[in-house]
Amino acid sequence: MFEKILIANRGEIACRVIKTARRMGIRTVAVYSEADEDARHVDLADESVLIGPAPSRESYLVMDKIIEACQRTGAQAVHPGYGFLSENEVFARRVEEQGIVFIGPKHGSIAAMGDKIASKKLAQKARVNTIPGYNDVIESPEQAVEIARDIGYPVMIKASAGGGGKGLRVAHNDKEAFDGFSSCRNEARASFGDDRVFIEKFVVEPRHIEIQVLGDSHGNCVYLWERECSIQRRHQKVIEEAPSAFLDEATRRAMGEQAVALARAVDYQSAGTVEFVVGKDKSFYFLEMNTRLQVEHPVTECITGLDLVEQMIRVAAGERLAFTQAAIPRRGWAIECRINAEDPLRGFLPSTGRLVRFRPPQTTLEAAEPMPEGGGGIRVDTGVYEGGEIPVHYDSMICKLIAHGADRNDAIARMRDALNAFAIRGISSNIAFQSALLAHPRFVSGDFNTGFIAEEYPKGFTRQSVQHDDPSFLLALAVAANRRIRERAAAITGQVPGHEVRVADAWAVVLSDPDGKRHTTGARIVRERDLFTVEVAGKTYPIRFLSPLRELVVRGELDGRPFHAQIERAGLIWHVNHNGKHIAARVLTPRAAELESRMPFKPPPDLSKFLMSPMPGLLVDVAVKPGQAVSAGERLAVIEAMKMENVLVAAQDAVVKSVAAAKGDTLAVDQVIIEFV
C-alpha cells in the first residue's frame, strides 16, 4: 500500500479523497493555486504545494507542475479526482512513465473511451446496445441531412469530443439537421479543437441511467448497480439517486452485464461509469464511459457500503477486489442534491463571494465510512467553510448533500428536511430550487425524464413557481417567532412605566406583492408553557420550538411532528423559508396594519437606462463606446464567472451615454457597466 499520495484536484473531491486516505493511514499532498491558498483541502492535507496562478490552465491543468510536486514530496501515486486532468490519457501516461502510480484506469483505457465515435464502435464490438446512427465523420451539412433521413427523425447531432452539453443539437426536420450540423461543428471546433460530428437516433422521453463498474488488474470486474441521473438542467445533473425506480430487475441485470462487458473489452482497472440512455419502453443504449470517479458516487456508496475511493486506491496498489458480483448488497435508497453557488431567480447565473453563513444540516454519515447505521442518514461532502470565499475561477459546486433512507419515500423526506436545515448566506444557492424539485408530484411519483426541468419550468424558476403543501404554516411560523421576540422584549427590566412592551394575542400578517399590493391575514396566538398555538387562515397550528431564539435554522415540532425551517428578522420583516417557499411578512397589531395600509407605495427606481452586472465576475469585453447607437439584441459586454462566459445584450434600441466599467474589472452584482441616454 502507498505511504503518500498526491491529489491533483481541489475543492470537494480533494477533501473527499483526503478523508479516505487518512482512514487508510496514507499521508496526503494537496496542490493549490494562488486563489486556493486558504482552501479547505489545503488545510486538511498533510502537505501542500503551490502550483501557479488562479486560472486552472496555469495551475491545475499544468501536467509538469503536478508531476514536479509528486517528485518534490515523494508522493508514490496521484489521485486525479474528477474534472481537470482526470480523463486525460496523456497525463496518465506521463505519470506512469515517471514511475508514479495513476489512481485510475490505465492510459490505454482512457484513450479508448475518450473518443465518442471510437468508443461506440468498441461498444458494438463488445455486443453492447448502441443507438442507431452514423458513426463515421460527416463532411457536410448536406450529408448530415441525408443521414438524418435514413435514421429517421428526430436525431441527435453530437460532437465527437463533446461533453457537458456543448456541441449537441436535436433535429426534427431537414432544416434543423442542416443548421444544427453547422452550429454543432463550429461549437465543437471552438470548445474542443475537434470539429468531428456524428449523428444518432434521438430517444423519445429519455432517461439518463448509469452503471458503476469496478475492475482490478487481476481480471476481476463487477458492477455496483445503477444511478438515476435524469434530473438535469441544460445537460448538467442536478439530482441523482440510487437505485432507479424505473428499472426492473431484468433490465438492471442486463445493463450491468453489458457495462462489465465493455469494461473488460478495454481491460478496465479502477472505478468507472458506463452511461446509458433509456427509453420509456426500457430499451437502453450506450452513451459513453466516464473513466474516472463520478460526482454522484456517494449514492452508490450509501446503498452498497463500499468506499469507492478506497477501492480505487487498493486497485491501483495492485490488490484484488475483495468481493464478487453476488456479494454486492443493495440496501435502501440514496439521493444526492448538488448545492451550487448560483441564483435560480436570475436564470441560474453564478454567484461568488464570501460565505457569510455556511451551516449544513447535522450529518450522520461520512464519506470514508459510507454505510449508514440504523437504516439512513445525512451526509455532506464539501470543500468550503464558513467565512471562506467562493472564487470566480472554478465551478459553482459548494457541496453535495446526500440522504439515505429505507426506501425512496424515506430518502425524499430526509432530503427535504435536510434542505430546510441547510443555511447559506452571503451568496445565492440553488437550495430553494432543489426543494421545489423534490416536492414536485412528477418527481415524487418517479414519472420524469431528462426533459423534466425544461418542461416544468419553461420560463425559469421563480418564487411563484414554488408550490407549498401548506402555505399558511409559513404565516404561523412568522407569528410564533414574533411572539417569542415580544416576550423576550417584555421581560427586559427598566422599561418606562406606561410604555412597556405588551404581549398581545391578536395580530395581522401582511404580505406585499412587488407592485405594492398588500395581503393581510388575521391571526391569534396563545402560549401554554412551551407550546404556541396559532390560528391563521382558518387553521390551527400547535408549534413547539426546540432551538434557541438566536438560531437561524429553527428546529421544532408541529403537532408533535418534527420540522426544520429558517426564520430571520430584518427590521419589521420576518423572512421565513420552508420547503423551498419564501415569504417576507410583517407581523403587526391590527391597528398598525390598518394605518400601514394607508401609506403610499413607493415604486422601485427605473433602472432601464442602465446595463448592470447580473452576477459577480470578470468583465472580459465591452463591445460599445459612448455615443454609439445599439439595437435590441446587440452584444454589449461579456462577463466571465466560474468557467462560463455570459454575453449581455441590449434589451431595446438605445444610445450609449457612458461606459462605467473597463475590460479587466472585477464586478459586483448590480454594478453599473453602461448607462444609456
Indicate if the pLDDT at residue 371 is higher than 70.
no
Residue 72 C-beta-side C-alpha neighbours within 13 Å: 14
413 occurs within a structural domain: yes
Q: Are 146 and 174 in contact (CB under 8 A)?
A: no
Q: Which of 194, 250, 253, 195 is nearest to 223 (CA)?
A: 253
Tell whether 420 and 338 lie within a shared domain: yes
520 pLDDT band (50/70/90 cuts)? very high
Largest CA distance in the chain: 90
3-state secondary structure of 550: coil
Question: pLDDT band at residue 160, thresholds of 50, 70 and 90?
Answer: confident
15-24, 455-464, 543-552: the lowest-pLDDT one:
455-464
55 Rama sector, left if φ>0, alpha if ψ -120 to 50, beta otherwise = beta
User: How high is the pLDDT of residue 393?
Assistant: 86
The answer, yes or no, to whether residue 164 has pLDDT greater than 60, is no
Asked if 180 and 214 sit in the same domain, the reply is: no
The owner of cell 428546529 is 555
Asked whether residue 120 is assigned to any structural domain, the reply reads no
Q: Are 77 and 316 in contact (CB under 8 A)?
A: yes
Note the pLDDT tens digit of each residue in 320-365.
999 999 999 999 999 999 999 999 998 898 888 899 999 999 999 9
d(CA 505, CA 659): 55
Q: Is 82 helix (H, G, I), strand (E, B) or coil?
A: coil
* Residues 343 and 442 occupy one common structural domain: yes
How is residue 558 annotated by DSSP? E
When pLDDT is cut at 50, 70 and 90, the band that residue 295 belongs to is very high
Last residue of a domain, one of 596, 625, 653: 596
Count of beta carbons in the 10 Å neighbourhood of residue 118:
14
Phi, psi of 514 (to 5 degrees): -55, -25
Is residue 382 situated within a structural domain? yes
In a domain, 109, yes or no: no
Q: Are strands 101-102 and 77-79 parallel, antiparallel or unpaired?
A: parallel
Residue given cell 433509456 in the structure block: 278
Task: Out of 201, 231, 258, pick the residue that ends a domain.
Answer: 201
- Give the tens place of pLDDT for each residue, 413-435: 999 999 999 999 999 999 999 99
Q: How confident is the model at residue 142 (pLDDT cuts 50, 70, 90)?
A: very high
- Judgement on whether residues 455 and 521 belong to the same structural domain of the protein: no
Nearest to 339 by CA among 300, 282, 287, 378: 378
Alpha helices in 158-248 (DSSP H): 174-192
For residue 138, pLDDT beyond 60? yes
- State the average pLDDT over residues 221-235: 96
CA dihedral 133, 135, 141, 144 (to 10 degrees): -20
- CA torsion sign for 82, 45, 305, 406 is negative
Q: Domain check: are 581 and 640 in the same one? A: no
Strand arrangement of the beta sheet that strand 333-340 belongs to: 284-290, 271-278, 207-215, 221-233, 236-242, 333-340, 397-405, 377-382
pLDDT digits (tens, 9 = 90+) for 167-212: 788 999 999 999 999 888 888 887 777 888 889 888 889 999 999 9
User: How many whole angstroms separate alpha carbon 306 and alpha carbon 33?
Assistant: 32
Percent of the chain with pLDDT strictly greater than 70: 98
DSSP symbol at 396? -
Beta strands in 291-396 (DSSP E): 333-340, 342-343, 349-350, 353-354, 357-359, 377-382, 389-390
pLDDT for the residue 163: 61
* Alpha carbons 467 and 419: distance in angstroms, whole number: 16
**Alpha-carbon torsion angle 660, 662, 668, 673, nearest 10:** 40
Q: How far apart are CA 120 and CA 189, in angstroms?
A: 21
Q: Which of 288, 296, 301, 336 is catalytic?
A: 288
Using the 3D structure, point to which of 564, 596, 628 is the last residue of a domain.
Answer: 596
89 and 29 in a single domain? The answer is yes
CATH number of the domain within which 146 lies: 3.30.1490.20
> In terms of domains, do 243 and 351 share one?
yes
* 482 inside domain: yes
Strand partners, 276: 209, 286
**C-alpha torsion 47→53→57→63, nearest 10:** -40
Q: Are residues 298 and 401 in the same domain?
A: yes
pLDDT computed for residue 79 by the predictor: 98
Cβ–Cβ < 8 Å for 276, 210: yes
Please report the pLDDT score of residue 641 as a whole number: 81
CATH of residue 44: 3.40.50.20
Task: Show the DSSP H helices in 385-471 as ranges.
Answer: 408-420, 431-439, 441-445, 452-456
Separation between Cα atoms, residue 104 and residue 292, nearest integer Å: 6
- Say whether pLDDT at 623 is over 70: yes
**Whole-number Å distance between alpha carbons of 239 and 523:** 38
Q: Which three cell numbers stand for residue 101?
A: 502510480
Q: Can you name the residues that pair with 211 across neighbouring β-strands?
A: 226, 274
What are the start-end ranges of the H helices in 74-173?
89-97, 107-114, 116-125, 141-151
In a domain, 41, yes or no: yes
> Is pLDDT of 56 > 80?
yes
554 with 629, same domain: the answer is no
Nearest C-alpha neighbor of 595 from the set 516, 510, 665: 510
Question: Exposure pattern of 311-326 as b/e (b: 16+ CB <10 Å)?
Answer: bbbbbbbeeebeeeee
Q: Quick check: is 336 catalytic?
A: no
Residue that has been written with the C-alpha cell 461498444 in this structure:
123
Instruction: Tell which residue, 340, 387, 382, 396, has the closest CA to residue 640.
Output: 396
Same domain, 271 and 313: yes
Grid coordinates given for 523: 391571526
Rounded to whole angstroms, the Cα distance separating 548 from 556 reads 10
Other CB atoms within a 10 A radius of the CB of residue 550 amount to 5
Mean pLDDT estimate for the chain: 93
Half-sphere exposure in the Cβ direction for 539 (13 Å, CA): 15
State the CATH number of the domain containing residue 371: 3.30.470.20
Judge whether 124 lies within some domain. no
645 & 662 share domain? yes
User: Cell numbers 398555538 correspond to what residue?
Assistant: 533
How many domains is the chain partitioned into structurally? 5
CATH of the domain at 618: 2.40.50.100
- Give the CATH number for residue 527: 3.30.700.30
The pLDDT, as a whole number, for residue 530 is: 94
Checking if the pLDDT of 86 tops 90, the result is yes
CB atoms within 10 A of CB 644: 14
Domain residues for the domain of 334 are 207-465
Question: Does the pLDDT of residue 266 top 90, yes or no?
Answer: yes
Q: How many other C-beta atoms lie within 10 A of the C-beta of residue 524? A: 14
CB atoms under 10 Å from CB of 349, counted, come to 22
What's the rounded Cα separation, in Å, for the pair 359 and 564? 13
**H-type alpha helices, 526-657:** 590-596
Helices (H), ranges, 266-337 = 297-304, 308-316
Alpha carbon distances (Å) from 58 to 66, 72, 84: 11, 19, 12
Per-residue pLDDT for 465 more than 90? Answer: no
User: 457 and 351 in one domain?
Assistant: yes
* Domain presence at residue 113: no
Tell me: pLDDT of 601 over 90. Answer: no
- Which class for 332: exposed (0-12), middle (13-18), buried (19 or more C-beta within 10 A)? buried
User: CA-CA distance, 491 to 502, in Å (whole number)?
Assistant: 10
Q: In whole angstroms, what is the distance from residue 113 CA to residue 286 CA?
A: 12
